[in-house]
Amino acid sequence: MTIFFHILSHNIIPIFLLISLGFLLSKKFDLHIFSLSKLLFYLFVPSFIFVNLYTTELKLDMLKVLLCGVLLLITNDMIARIIAKARKYDVGLTNAFKNSIMFNNSGNIGVSLITLIFGSAPFVIDGKTPYLNEAITAQIMILILQNISVNTLGFYNAGRANGSMKDSIKTILTMPAIYVIPLVLIFKSMQIDITAIPVWPTLEYLKNGLVPMALITLGVQLSKTNFDLKNVDIHLSVFTKLIISPLLALIYIQLLGLTGVVAQAVFIAHAVPTAVNTALIAVECDSCPDFASQAVMLSTLFSAITLTLVIYAAQFIFPA
- pLDDT attached to residue 38: 85
| 43-78 pLDDT per residue, tens | 988 888 888 778 877 666 678 999 999 999 999 999
- Percent of the chain exceeding pLDDT 70 equals 90
- pLDDT attached to residue 161: 63
Judge whether 234 and 291 are in contact, CB under 8 Å.
yes
- Percent of the chain exceeding pLDDT 90 equals 32
User: Considering the entire predicted model, what is its pTM?
Assistant: 0.82
Q: Residue 233's closest CA among 95, 27, 43?
A: 95
- pLDDT attached to residue 119: 74
| 251-288 pLDDT per residue, tens | 999 999 998 889 999 999 999 989 888 888 888 787 88
Average of per-residue pLDDT values in the chain:
85
Dihedral sign from CA coordinates of 201, 143, 222, 16? negative
CATH topology of domain 2-317: Na+/H+ antiporter like fold (1.20.1530)
What is the rounded CA–CA span in Å between residue 28 and residue 33?
14
pLDDT grade for 4, boundaries at 50, 70 and 90: low
**Which is higher by pLDDT, 229 or 65?**
65
pLDDT grade for 152, boundaries at 50, 70 and 90: confident
Instruction: Count, in order, helices (H) and strands (E) of the chain.
Output: 17, 0
Residues 6+ apart with CB under 8 A from 292: 96, 99, 100, 278, 279, 281, 282, 283
Other beta carbons within 10 Å of 56? 18
